[in-house]
Amino acid sequence: MPRAILDEDHIHPAVRERISRHHHGIVDEVRQAAAQHAVLVVGMAINPWPRLARRTLRRAGIEHHYLGYGSYFSQWRRRTALKMWTGWPTFPMVFVKGVLVGGAQDLERLHASGELARLLG
């Protein structure tokens, strides 16, 4: 089922460019990192779930790249742009070969099932 997003025909032409540029720098940075690294974890300080995802990867001997964006008290507007872009509501956001696979618990399930190794193979 495709994710529901507001169709461009329902956005006034005068604001389309403003929407497309909204915090595009962070989106571009994550998009480039996801293309350059087999595994990317996008997280934030204080939140324990990005640490859990990285620990899962380290224990499995899987190299990964990490991008951290602020804490609960900073950079939340920039992180919101990532949530809007991906549709994923929480951190971490884990990408494997450029594909969003979910968060820490999703990563653990992929690893336990052997699917993570197949994705990286």
Give the model confidence (pLDDT) of 14-53 as tens digits: 999 999 999 999 999 999 999 999 999 999 999 999 999 9
Please tell me the pTM assigned to this model.
Answer: 0.93
What is the C-alpha separation between 92 and 14, in angstroms, rounded?
34
Residue 57 pLDDT exceeds 90: yes
Contact at 8 Å (CB) between 65 and 37?
Answer: yes
DSSP lists the bridge partners of residue 99 as: 96
Half-sphere exposure of 60 (CA within 13 A, CB side): 22
Q: Domains in the chain, please, with CATH?
A: 24-120 (3.40.30.10)
